[in-house]
Structure 1
Amino acid sequence: MDVNELTSIFSDAIYLVVAMVGVLVVPSLLVGLIIAVFQAATQVNEQTLSFLPRLVLTLLMVLFSGQWLLQQISDLFDRLFMNIPHIIG
């Protein structure tokens, strides 16, 4: 196995991790930012006001994008598993 194929495998894996984190975390960050602006404007400093909507949104994102996330992980695993003889030899 040459360096280009190994680099391709690692770049695909890193891209997948970034995409998965982006799908799960970015919406939560946006909601957190909106709530932080609201709290700053109204001077309400309640921790649960910030935590609960982000938790619900993250769980909803896992619910809606979970199948896609598992499919992407499965595709990467299948690619790695099928290339084991080529990687070793």
Structure 2
Amino acid sequence: MTDTSVIHLAMQVMLITAKLAAPALVTALVVGFAVSLFQSATQIQEFTLAFVPKAIGVGIALLLSGHWMLNSMISFTTDLFHGIPKMLS
């Protein structure tokens, strides 16, 4: 395995990690921003008002994008396992 192939593999791992984390993180960011705007407009400072909508939003995002995430992870892992002989030679 050369230095270039190790760097290429590491880049692939970071890219797939970012793709898999994006739906949950973007949803939490958008819902958190909307809740903070609502809280600042109404002067309501309640912890559960900030946490519960984020948890529900992230859960819905994971339900909607879970199939895609699983397929992406399976295809990446399958490609990685199929490339092991090439990496060893």
Same fold (TM over 0.5): yes
Deviations 1:34-69 (A, max 9, x none): 111111121101111111111011011111100100
Match in the other structure for 2:29: 29
- The within-5 A match list for 1:15-54 is 15-54=15-54
Aligned twin of 2:56: 56
CA RMSD of aligned residues (A): 1.2
Structure showing greater relative contact order (alpha-carbon pairs closer than 8 Å, 6 or more residues apart): 1
The 1-side partners of 2:60 and 2:67 are apart by 12
Deviation, 1:13, is 1.2
SS at match of 2:31: helix
Letter in 2 for 1:16: I
Q: How many residues align?
A: 89
Unmatched segments (≥5 aa) in structure 1:
none
Q: Report the equivalent of 1:9.
A: 9
Percent identity of equivalent pairs: 27
Q: Report the Cα offset of residue 9 of structure 1.
A: 2.0
TM-score (norm 1): 0.90
TM-score for both structures, normalised by structure 2: 0.90
Secondary structure, aligned partner of 1:78: helix
